[in-house]
Amino acid sequence: MPDILDRARAQVLADGTGLDEAGVLEVLRLPDDRLPAALELAHEVRMRWCGPEVEVEGIVSLKTGGCPEDCHFCSQSGLFTSPVRAVWLDIPALVEAARQTAATGATEFCIVAAVRGPDARLMAQLRQGVAAIRAEVDIQIAASLGMLTKEQVDELVDLGVHRYNHNLETARSYFPQVVTTHTWEERWETLTMVRESGMEVCCGGILGLGETLEQRAEFAAQLGELAPHEVPLNFLNPRPGTPMGDRPVVEARDALRAIAAFRLALPRTILRYAGGREITLGDLGTRDGLLGGVNAVIVGNYLTTLGRPAQADLDLLSDLKMPVKALSSTL
């Protein structure tokens, strides 16, 4: 029987058909000496089905902290003792953040709020914010505002929000160990409505929440079923005061195996490095990931933790001869 990487070469690289759950699990279980070959294949798949461009995105938090939900990894939940207070950003600060993001060459600017779902006040802020950004900055606007109603989905489409982020976070079978205030299925419902509306779907999650390798593979397969335009892959950065504050970080080699496996499950998606990569992988790992299937990065700071400086990422892309995706080609 051929090795999983030989089978993946024939199926994923040649045909563009992602690995199923069993195949992903085999990749996640590869011994260390096969990891370079897995990353190399994932990189070939990304180059073949996505091309050399890297999408650069900035994110800003419109409303930080004080969330009523209990996602056990999240320092923005108001239910834990984590030191993130509820803070709202004003519109001029939002426009300035969009301007700074565009100045790095980023094409995407994602407005995020720590909420279960938007209320009237948040929708009003968003309306104002999106209009102000569109008037002054040339960048595509995405949003991440939690669970949506159909009316809210329609309103986002009308505003010109082109992509919506809502993470499934982890495998369906593990989700109840991570969140108890809402269900995985409720998240799936929002994602389905977003997809049907024509907005691009951005949906990923966090690895290292205590899920098994089987559940990691299950999660990759569930994302494969959803087929999001973009998948942000986070690694747990354990935040003090959260129920997962004492969890160990994902080992660099396991993180890289996961990156390769997710790319082989999702050959055409934008696979984005999101939070936690600095502590899991460090600078060298960032390079390894970009040569192992990743084709998008978030520049600058994350919502509650400090990221690498934007310039370090842009220099790395230039070293790797990976062009930053241009705005004109995405409109």
- What residues numbered 99-128 form the site for ligand SF4, per CB under 6 A? 114
232 counts as binding ligand SF4 under rule CB under 6 A? no
Q: Which stretch binds ligand SF4 (CB under 6 A): 67-75, 88-96, 101-109, 306-314?
A: 67-75
Residue placing its CB nearer to ligand SF4 in the complex, 145 or 299:
145
Residue placing its CB nearer to ligand SF4 in the complex, 146 or 224:
146
Cβ 190 to ligand SF4 shortest distance, Å: 12
With H, G, I as helix, E, B as strand and everything else as coil, classify residue 110.
strand
Residue placing its CB nearer to ligand SF4 in the complex, 43 or 272:
272
CB 264 within 8 A of CB 8: yes
CB 128 within 8 A of CB 111: no
- Count the residues of the shown chain that bind ligand SF4, applying the rule CB under 6 A: 8
DSSP of 66-97: -BSS--TT-TTBTTS--S---EE--HHHHHHH
CB 31 within 8 A of CB 276: no
Residue placing its CB nearer to ligand SF4 in the complex, 46 or 239:
239
Cβ 84 to ligand SF4 shortest distance, Å: 9
Q: Which two tokens stand for residue 204?
A: 């990923």
- Give the whole-angstrom CA distance, residue 50 versus residue 267: 8
Strands 55-64 and 87-88, sheet pairing: antiparallel
Strand partners, 64: 87
Residue placing its CB nearer to ligand SF4 in the complex, 10 or 87:
87
CA geometry: angle at 234 spanning 228 and 238, to 5°?
Answer: 150
Binding pattern to ligand SF4, positions 72-91, x when CB under 6 A? --x-xx--------------
Cβ 254 to ligand SF4 shortest distance, Å: 23
- Give the whole-angstrom CA distance, residue 166 versus residue 191: 7
Strand partners, 232: 272
Cβ 145 to ligand SF4 shortest distance, Å: 10
59 counts as binding ligand SF4 under rule CB under 6 A? no
Cβ 114 to ligand SF4 shortest distance, Å: 4
Residue placing its CB nearer to ligand SF4 in the complex, 67 or 274:
67
Residue 317 phi, psi dihedral angles, 5° rounding? -60, -40
293: left (phi over 0), alpha (psi -120 to 50) or beta: left
Please give the radius of gyration of the chain, using alpha carbons only, rounded to the nearest integer: 19
With H, G, I as helix, E, B as strand and everything else as coil, classify residue 227.
coil
Cβ 290 to ligand SF4 shortest distance, Å: 26
67 counts as binding ligand SF4 under rule CB under 6 A? yes
CB 48 within 8 A of CB 11: no
- What residues numbered 123-182 form the site for ligand SF4, per CB under 6 A? 146
Cβ 189 to ligand SF4 shortest distance, Å: 15
Widest distance between CA atoms in the chain: 61
**Which of 4, 60, 71, 260 is in the footprint of ligand SF4 by CB under 6 A?**
71
23 counts as binding ligand SF4 under rule CB under 6 A? no
Residue placing its CB nearer to ligand SF4 in the complex, 76 or 215:
76
- What residues numbered 191-230 form the site for ligand SF4, per CB under 6 A? none
- Summarize as ranges the residues that interact with ligand SF4 (CB under 6 A): 67, 69, 71, 74, 76-77, 114, 146
